[in-house]
Amino acid sequence: MRQSELFTKTRREGPKDEVAKNAELLIRAGYIHKEMAGVYSFLPLGLRVREKIEQIIREEMNAIGGQELSLTALQDKTLWEKSGRWSDEVIDNWFKTKLKNESEVGLAVTHEEPLTNIVKGFVKSYRDLPVYAYQFQTKFRNELRAKSGILRGREFLMKDLYSFSRTEEEHQDFYKKTEEAYRKIFERAGIGDKTYFTFASGGIFSKYSHEFQTLCDSGEDTIYVDEKKGLAINKEVYDDEGLKMAGLKKADLKEKKAIEVGNIFSLGTRYSEALDLKFVDEKGKEKPVIMGSYGIGVGRLLGTIVEVLGDEKGIVWPESVAPFKVHLIHLAGSDKTKEKADEIYQGLMSAKMEVLYDDRDLRAGEKFQDSDLIGLPYRVIVSDKTLESGRLEMKVRASGETKMIGEDELKSL
Amino acid sequence: MRQSELFTKTRREGPKDEVAKNAELLIRAGYIHKEMAGVYSFLPLGLRVREKIEQIIREEMNAIGGQELSLTALQDKTLWEKSGRWSDEVIDNWFKTKLKNESEVGLAVTHEEPLTNIVKGFVKSYRDLPVYAYQFQTKFRNELRAKSGILRGREFLMKDLYSFSRTEEEHQDFYKKTEEAYRKIFERAGIGDKTYFTFASGGIFSKYSHEFQTLCDSGEDTIYVDEKKGLAINKEVYDDEGLKMAGLKKADLKEKKAIEVGNIFSLGTRYSEALDLKFVDEKGKEKPVIMGSYGIGVGRLLGTIVEVLGDEKGIVWPESVAPFKVHLIHLAGSDKTKEKADEIYQGLMSAKMEVLYDDRDLRAGEKFQDSDLIGLPYRVIVSDKTLESGRLEMKVRASGETKMIGEDELKSL
């Protein structure tokens, strides 16, 4: 894409009320727009990144048998009354509104109830199970404060998968599969080496659960990391019982700040019993379905990548989620150089490479500053000087490494 | 995909309170689930169709220079107060809710205000224009009644594009381009021959606008069609002035029922003036930006395809939007036949063909009924009988045409 045609532009300053590094950089670089605290629109660059992250997650969820669907935001009160979660005393961050006939509806904070109800319509016997269904859908959570940029939103996109199993064994097998799929996702998203499988509290669901926590000084969570084992435990359950369950020893642990990028929960029969989701087993006996839920906040993951990989100059995208792979930059000079830059751009487009082409009429310094801020993996310069040498100057954003490359090398980046 | 693994199943009956043909068929076939009146979740088959429709629209919007983004559902009251559209007396189908600090927020019924505000942050001079931005995003509309299935939802996915132009001429050029893009979309979605470019009222925006109306007896709109010219006029503006503006004559028109599948509006400077979106032109003069909006309801388009192409047996998908191209059906018989069916399925998967493989242990009659209801373009049978002949029985869902084909022909469908 030609940068002259991209309608967003970079800014030197973020909004004054924005204290989070992730949102500040993403706003300055033109990826997102702040509508209000905790509510961010995704602009063209930001949407491209979000969709790449979605696609990584989608591939890994499909690989373990997930079937994608899309539930609604508006929620029928009666379903949530059955599980006892309609009350604001049980879920304290509901947004609620009303139909014209005055009946109350909620905006989905999560989707256990509606999905359990849907699955109930299709499951009668053990032959209809297991079911693994997931979606990318907006969650609405009425947070009292929202100061962490896109790490904790009032409206945010989440991948949530729910498992419906026949036996505890079948459930545990899938739980383990999801753990592995999540490892692959965070690896592919470029933060695998900073992300720990973490023993955590179960919240309202069950006594314990697991989280994936990415080390980051600005994280809201405190965890204790065993670097050798590659495991961690959340401060919430950092006591003798928790340590024993997690198989960790105090002496081996270091305290760290971290961001929760994913979680996996055993739900047991909490929702299947409340919503009457049963099946008839091989012996003709009726049993409640055993459930699990598995979440990844897509926006939060995007923001975490910005927080942990970004530097003082701006964002640093891993190639897997970058909006474009190459930032091709033309520096003002002879007409011949401009023609050459256009030609290289066309060649890369024909080769289906994802390129942002800075064809704007700006000074070199401004272009370099913008390029560092936007954070594409490879910056390639076409100037009178580089052209004379018959080579192009290429800089790797992450390492800062610079080298002169030929056009062929550029195409095979 | 193996049908035995698809967690949804067909049903003989739709929900009792469902009066719309589109929703009744889509629910029975397992494409959607009704959460409440006007609020439908998309199950795996339905999501596949929706995404194919989205992709057709996306390609045509990109082809005319549209840049995709994603705005939020939660809306800041202050922006809508500037345009005078916050009041329930002006927009009578708002859903509104409250933040914890008691400040009111709305759920987006449309997105002129927030997008105009975003564009304002990037546009200073004529060099920054035009801007064409679009999204696929959920709209929330608090309809008093919602009895048309997915044709009129309280929560529904919409493609909305907004244009920001410097001059009326530039605006009209783009308006015309969108008209042509919309024709291509409805053509590609299989309802081009039933869809008319229709002169219509402008609603709250401007005196006149244009709609795309698809002929359908269950449509909510009444239009007058000039079949020769391929044009129509909406009943709302069916008077001497309207006819003159539309260039139509009463004598040439036939009254028809239709569904509005798309609309294009000139907004003038209504929102740019209210939200102070100005630019400095070539002569240094400050001017308000000229806007247009262009909508297609994705769910409504999906529902319209079901309404107008479906028959008494079920849904009939055009190939372009079908969840799978081929319904491969194995009929119980010898083990050899089952092996052959599995082999054909694997072969089609390797050839990247989209196949739903009915490998379930059911009687032939049930499988055929399901297949007609689900409505994939080609039904292909593998049975002892067809195998003896060395050929496969293929039926075209839309025409009912049946013929015997070889495996090579199947792969080149």
Instruction: Give per-residue pLDDT as tens, B268-282.
Output: 999 999 999 999 999
Q: What is the mean pLDDT of residues A273-290?
A: 98
Question: Cβ contacts (< 8 Å) between B121 and chain A: which residues?
Answer: 33
Q: Which of residues 135-154 of B touch A (CB under 8 A)?
A: 138, 140, 142-144, 154
Q: For the segment A155-194, what is each residue's pLDDT rounded down to a tens digit?
A: 999 999 999 999 999 999 999 999 999 999 999 999 999 9
| Contact yes or no for B74 and A154 at CB 8 A | yes
Separation of alpha carbons B359 and B381, rounded Å: 11
Nearest C-alpha of chain B: how many angstroms from A298?
Answer: 14
Mutate to test the interface with A, among B11, B62, B64, B95 (most CBs of A within 10 A): B95
Phi first, then psi, for residue B313 (nearest 5°) are -90, -20
**Contact call for B68 and A33, based on CB within 8 A:** no
B73 touches B107 (CB < 8 A):
yes
Flag whether residue B362 sits within 8 Å of chain A, measured between CB atoms: no
Q: What is the ipTM metric for this complex?
A: 0.96
Count of Cβ atoms closer than 10 Å to residue A251 Cβ: 6
A154 contacts on B by Cβ (under 8 Å)? 74, 99
| pLDDT band, residue A204 (cuts 50/70/90) | low
Nearest to B155 among A72, A123, A133 (CB): A72
Tell me what the mean pLDDT of segment A99-110 comes to: 97
Contact of B174 with B223, CB cutoff 8 Å: no
pLDDT at position B17: 86
Type of residue found at B255:
E
Closest residue, chain B, to A137 (C-alpha): B138
| Closest A-chain CA to B8 | A122
CB contact under 8 A, B74 and A39: yes
Residues of B in contact with A96 (CB under 8 A): 97
Closest chain B residue to A115, measured at CA = B41
Place of tokens 């009744």: B24
For the stretch B101-148, pLDDT in tens is 999 999 999 999 999 999 999 999 999 999 999 999 999 999 998 889
**Average pLDDT score over residue span A224-241:** 96
Pair B294, B138: CB distance under 8 Å: no
Q: Tell me the chain A residues in contact with residue B119 when contact means C-beta distances shorter than 8 Å.
A: 7
Give the model confidence (pLDDT) of B294-338 as tens digits. 999 999 999 999 999 999 999 999 999 999 999 999 999 999 999
d(CA A333, CA A362): 11
Place of tokens 């070889």: B406
Q: To the nearest whole percent, how much of chain A has pLDDT over 70?
A: 99
- Residue B268 pairs in a beta bridge with B291
Cα A239 to Cα A208: distance, rounded to the nearest angstrom: 13
Our CA angle for A230, A233, A234, nearest 5°, is: 135
Predicted confidence band of residue A15 (pLDDT cuts 50, 70, 90): confident
Residue A309 burial (CB count, 10 A): 17
Q: Could you tell me which of A257, A312, A223 has the C-alpha nearest to residue A21?
A: A312
Inspect the interface and report whether the beta carbons of A107 and B107 lie closer than 8 Å: yes
Which pair of structure tokens corresponds to residue B397? 């869902």
What's the pLDDT score for residue B15? Answer: 85
Residue B240 CB: number of other CB atoms within 10 A? Answer: 8
A389 close contact with B: CB closer than 8 A: no
Helices (H), B150-220: 168-188
pLDDT of res. A26:
98
Q: Does residue A41 sit at the B interface (CB-CB below 8 Å)?
A: yes
Q: What are phi and psi of B32, to 5 degrees?
A: -135, 165
Residue of chain B whose alpha carbon sits nearest to that of A3? B128
Distance, in Å, from the CA atom of A138 to the CA atom of A75, rounded to the nearest integer, reads: 13
Say which amino acid occupies A229.
Answer: K
Confidence of residue A225 (pLDDT cuts 50, 70, 90): very high
- List Cβ neighbours of B246 (8 Å cut-off, separation of 6 or more): B199, B231, B233, B237
Cα of A181 to nearest chain B Cα, Å:
20
Does B362 have pLDDT greater than 80?
Answer: yes
| Contact residues, chain A, for B41 at CB < 8 Å | 69-72, 114, 118
Q: How far apart are CA A35 and CA A44, in angstroms?
A: 16
pLDDT in tens, A235-259: 999 999 999 999 999 999 999 999 9
Comparing CB atoms, the residue among B44, B69, B74 nearest residue A67 is B44
Q: What is the 3-state secondary structure (H, E, C) of chain A?
A: CECCCCCCCCCCCCCCCCCCHHHHHHHHCCCEEEEECCEEEECHHHHHHHHHHHHHHHHHHHHCCCEECECCCEEEHHHHHHCCCCCCCCCCCCEEEECCCCCEEEECCCCHHHHHHHHHCCCCEHHHCCEEEEEEEEEECCCCCCCCHHHCCCEEEEEEEEEEECCHHHHHHHHHHHHHHHHHHHHHCCCHHHEEEEEEECCCCCCEEEEEEEECCCCCEEEEEECCCCEEEEHHHCCHHHHHHHCCCHHHCEEEEEEEEEEEEEEECHHHHHCCCEEECCCCCEEECEEEEEEEEHHHHHHHHHHHHCECCECCCCCCCCCCCEEEEECCCCHHHHHHHHHHHHHHHHCCCCEEEECCCCCHHHHHHHHHHHCCCEEEEECHHHHHCCCEEEEECCCCCEEEECHHHHHCC
Beta bridge partners of A132: A163
pLDDT(B203) > 70 = no
Is there a contact between A114 and B140 if contact means CB atoms under 8 Å apart? no
Please, which residues have CB within 8 angstroms of residue A111's CB and are 6 or more apart in sequence? Answer: A71, A135, A137, A160, A162
CA-to-CA distance for A15 and B287, rounded, in angstroms?
Answer: 26
The pLDDT value given to residue A207: 79
Q: Judge: B69–A96 Cβ closer than 8 Å, yes or no.
A: no
CA dist A260 and A221 (Å) reads 7
**Strand positions, DSSP E, B228-377:** 231-234, 254-268, 278-280, 286-288, 290-297, 326-330, 355-358
Residues of B in contact with A114 (CB under 8 A): 35, 41
Q: Average pLDDT of A48-54?
A: 98
Asked if A6 has any chain B CB less than 8 Å from its own CB, the reply is yes
A112 touches chain B (CB under 8 A): no
Residue A377: cis peptide before it, omega within 30 degrees of 0: no
Name the residue facing A69 among B47, B65, B75 (closest C-beta). B47
- pLDDT band of residue B40 (cuts 50, 70, 90) is very high
Interfacial A residues in 148-207 facing B (CB < 8 Å): 154-155
Spatial contact of A303 and A310, defined as CB atoms under 8 Å apart: no
Q: What confidence tens digit (pLDDT) does each residue in A293-323 have? A: 999 999 999 999 999 999 999 999 999 999 9
The Cα–Cα gap between A25 and A306 comes to 8
Residue burial B390-405, b: 16+ Cβ < 10 Å; e: rest: eebbbbebeeeeeeeb
C-alpha span between A31 and A370 (Å, rounded): 13
- CA A372 – CA A310 distance, rounded (Å): 10
DSSP B277: -
Question: pLDDT at position B204, please?
Answer: 56
Q: Measure A388 CA to nearest chain B CA, in Å.
A: 32
DSSP secondary structure letter of residue B17: T
Does A43 sit within 8 Å of B69, measured CB to CB?
yes
Residue of A nearest to B360 (CA): A127
Does the pLDDT value for residue B205 go beyond 60? no
Nearest to B326 by CA among B366, B382, B365, B364: B382
Beta strand B402-405 pairing with A208-215: unpaired
Q: Do B68 and A7 touch (CB under 8 A)?
A: no
Residue A10 CA to its chain's centroid (Å): 23
- Which of B41, B75, B122 lies nearest to residue A9, judging by beta carbons? B122
Instruction: Tell me the per-residue pLDDT of B47-78, one tens digit each, with 9 for 90 and over.
Output: 999 999 999 999 999 999 999 999 999 999 99
Chain B residues whose beta carbon lies within 8 Å of the beta carbon of residue A107: 97, 107
- Indicate yes or no: CB of A36 within 8 angstroms of CB of B76: yes
Tell me the H-state helices in B100-198: 112-120, 168-188
| Crossing angle between the packed helical segments A21-28 and A298-309, to the nearest 10 degrees | 90
Go through A221-244 and write b for each residue having 16 or more CB atoms within 10 A of its CB, e for each that does not. bebbbbeeeebbbbebbbeeebbe
Query: In chain A, which residues have their Cβ closer than 8 Å to the Cβ of B100?
Result: 142-144
**Whole-number Å distance between alpha carbons of B207 and A197:** 60
Residue A203 is predicted with a pLDDT of: 63
State how far residue B308 is from chain A, nearest Cα, in angstroms: 25
List domains and CATH numbers for chain B. Answer: 21-309 (3.30.930.10), 326-411 (3.40.50.800)
Q: What is the mean pLDDT of residues B263-292?
A: 97
- Joined together, the tokens standing for residue A6 give 């991209």
Neighbours of A43 (CB within 10 A): 27
Each residue of B391-401: pLDDT tens digit? Answer: 999 999 999 99
Contact B69 A133 (CB under 8 A): no
Which residue in B362, B320, B288 sits closest to B187, CA to CA?
Answer: B320
Which pLDDT score, from 0 to 100, does residue A138 have? 97
Whether the CB of A36 is below 8 Å from some CB of chain B: the reply is yes
Instruction: List the 52-91 stretch of A: residues with Cβ below 8 A of B.
Output: 65, 67-76
For chain A, give the percent of residues with pLDDT over 90: 93
Q: Determine the residue type at B13.
A: E
Are A71 and B140 an interchain contact pair (Cβ–Cβ within 8 Å)? no
Q: What is the mean pLDDT of chain A?
A: 96
CB contact under 8 A, A43 and B118: yes
**Smallest Cβ distance to B41: which of A5, A118, A140?**
A118
Interval B361-365 mean pLDDT? 96
Encoded amino acid at A139, one letter: K
CA distance B52 to chain A (A): 14
